[in-house]
Amino acid sequence: MQTRKTESFRQYIGGDFLEGAKTFASVNPASGKAWAEMPAADEKQTAAAVCAARGAFSDWSSQTASARGRFLFRLAEIIGKRAGELAKLETRDTGKILRETEAQIGYVAEFYRYFAGLADKTAGAHLPIDKPDMEVWTRREAIGVVAAIVPWNSQLFLAAVKLGPALAAGCTIVVKASEDGAAPLLAFARLVDEAGFPPGTVNVVCGFGEDCGAPLVSHPDVARVAFTGGVATARRVVSGTAKNLAHLTTELGGKSPMIVFADADLESAANAIVAGVFAASGQSCVACSRLLAQNKIKRKLLARIKEKAEAIKIGDPEKLATEMGPLCTRRQLENAEESVARAAEKEGAKLICGGARANVGGKFAGGFYWRPTILDCPPEGVGAAREELFAPVLCAHGFESEADAVRMANGGKYNFACGVFTHSLTRAHRVARAVRAGVVWLNTYRAVSPIAPFGGFGLSGYGREGGAESVLDYTRTKTVWLRTSDEPMADPFVMR
Ligand code: NAD
């Protein structure tokens, strides 16, 4: 019997495409079947990638900033042309629907263009120092070798907000793809090669936390770690960097509230909620998975969201007509299933819709499909409304006053984003000021741009990605003092 050939991927280390120390099978979440063979780096191979980045650092950091910008522009152009290919791979490997991966990866090129433009605009300063005969200035120097760790969702976007500023600043980098859904990042390495970056400037490895992630973040030659992932892993990364004292930014999970006031445009709010919690099958760090609706309109709003949720076309993520694909892993599916069942059966939540696996049938019968779910939660809350599920599950709560809404929004331990829908300009300002969240979206949701910083408060992490300041985060300041007097310095031990 003829078996279908499995695709295989390689890592990119020091300008060479290399097999992993081991390999493992990657599963297509739409079918539940293995479709590709992925490389897994061990500690030795991870160290080789750091060594390659270390070796390339002196050359890359001493190129002119404009030259570095040109490499990034070239990469942006190549990504723009090849976005379709990368999108198909991401869809195949993570289950994210093609219409989302195509749009997101097309936009990733804009991130590289933005950081390319910033390369020669990142500068130190001349200081108006309080001493005569002194000139003092600061230099922003590339921090060194960067370790970038990304999760499986939106890998190319999450890699771009690390690679772009790091390369613009003059750093070299090792990016670790996740053990789930690594295909698009490993394929992206081919585009880096095509863009002609000097070997070792960008290295892409793939592997598991223990064998690859942990040795990477604690490696003595790594000066900066940019981590995106879950809170439990972030804690391990923080401990790992205690060894090398690398600078660290963490972009973590969320349980972001969406507050809808009675005066809001409910249709617009319903659309934002559906996009905010059901897009990417809810697997987004900024998913607005906690709805706070003013009691007066709560029932009407939930009815409208339910209608929209039930109309979502679930199916083959590779078809452009599909509106929702599977979850990325079986683990995610089982977690959503358990948590929703507990909320509805034991914790007093009312199931408004969903709450079950979606049976897509045919070759997708083994896929990790879950129906868009809405839980109307009791005031005391349920586990599903406190923990990040990373699934299309909306937990709804009612509130009476603005003060209640702010208190409830600030009650969670994650503080990534917050959405607010209201027609009152003054209230929009008050709430934006009062909520604890790294990003506040007023009468919109989930908008991103390379120009706007992005990151959370509390257990959603620290540090910001995107925006002009993010390039500074990959530099360190050197202060230079110059004495301009021709007179010799006075001997401090000779009394005058
Ligand atoms: P995860 O924390 O399990 O894994 C993230 C990455 O860390 C993977 O590449 C993994 O191999 C690596 N890793 C594991 N152990 C490690 C260790 N000891 N040292 C170094 N690296 C290690 O997360 P996941 O399940 O892949 O992704 C989902 C999580 O990512 C969610 O919590 C989600 O909210 C979060 N996320 C955050 C953002 C953001 O911008 N804030 C964006 C996307 C996803």
Kindly provide the residue ranges of all beta strands, DSSP E only, lying in 252-406, ordered along the sequence: 257-260, 290-294, 350-353, 373-376, 393-399
Task: Evaluate: CB of 9 within 6 angstroms of ligand 1.
Answer: no
Q: Nearest residue CA, atom 38 of ligand 1?
A: 285
CA end-to-end distance (rounded Å), the chain: 99
Closest CA to 30 of 392, 383, 370, 411: 370
Q: Which pLDDT does position 124 carry in this prediction?
A: 96
Could you give the count of Cα atoms lying within 13 Å of 107 in the half-sphere of its Cβ?
16
Task: Please say whether the structural domain 7-252+460-480 has been given the CATH code 3.40.605.10.
Answer: yes
Please state, in angstroms and as integers, the Cα–Cα distance from residue 19 to each residue in 10, 11, 27, 257, 487, following that order. 5, 6, 19, 43, 63
Ligand 1 probe mutation, 46, 228, 333, 390, most atoms within 8 A of CB: 228
Please tell me if the CB atom of residue 252 comes closer than 6 angstroms to any atom of ligand 1: yes
Ligand 1 contacts CB of residue 390 (under 6 A): yes
Taking a C-beta distance cutoff of 8 angstroms, is the pair 73, 110 a contact?
A: no
Tokens of 371: 């129906």
CA distances from 70 to 145, 197, 201, 248, 451 (A): 20, 10, 14, 27, 19
Q: pLDDT for 383-392, tens place per residue?
A: 999 999 999 9
Ligand 1 site, residue 152, Cβ cutoff 6 A: yes
pLDDT in tens, 133-176: 999 999 999 999 999 999 999 999 999 999 999 999 999 999 99
Q: Supply the pTM of this predicted model.
A: 0.96
- Which positions are catalytic? 251, 285
Pocket flag, ligand 1, residue 162 (CB < 6 Å): no
The alpha helices in 375-474, defined as continuous H runs, are 383-386, 402-409, 425-434, 469-472
Alpha-carbon distance of 28 to 183, in angstroms, equals 11
Q: What are phi and psi of 281, to 5 degrees?
A: 55, 35
Give me the architecture of the 257-442 domain, per CATH: 3-Layer(aba) Sandwich (3.40)
Instruction: Give the model confidence (pLDDT) of 95-110 as tens digits.
Output: 999 999 999 999 999 9
Alpha helix (H) residue ranges in 350-421: 383-386, 402-409
Q: How confident is the model at residue 1 (pLDDT cuts 50, 70, 90)?
A: very low
Distance 333 CA to ligand 1 centre (A): 17
Band of pLDDT at residue 3, cut at 50, 70 and 90: very low
Rounded to an integer, what distance in angstroms lies between the CA atom of residue 169 and that of residue 376?
48
Q: Write down the pLDDT at residue 390.
A: 95
153 CB within 6 A, ligand 1 = yes
Choosing from 149, 448, 470 the residue with most ligand 1 atoms within 8 A of its CB, the one to mutate for a pocket test is 149
pLDDT in tens, 285-327: 999 999 999 999 999 999 999 999 999 999 999 999 999 999 9
User: CATH 3.40.309.10 region(s) of the chain?
Assistant: 257-442
Centre of ligand 1 from the C-alpha of residue 149, in Å: 7
236 CA to middle of ligand 1, Å? 11
* Portions of the chain given CATH number 3.40.605.10: 7-252+460-480
**Residue 158 — left, alpha, or beta (φ > 0 → left; ψ -120 to 50 → alpha)?**
alpha
Which atom of ligand 1 lies at the shortest distance from residue 416's CA?
41
Neighbours of 483 (CB within 10 A): 11
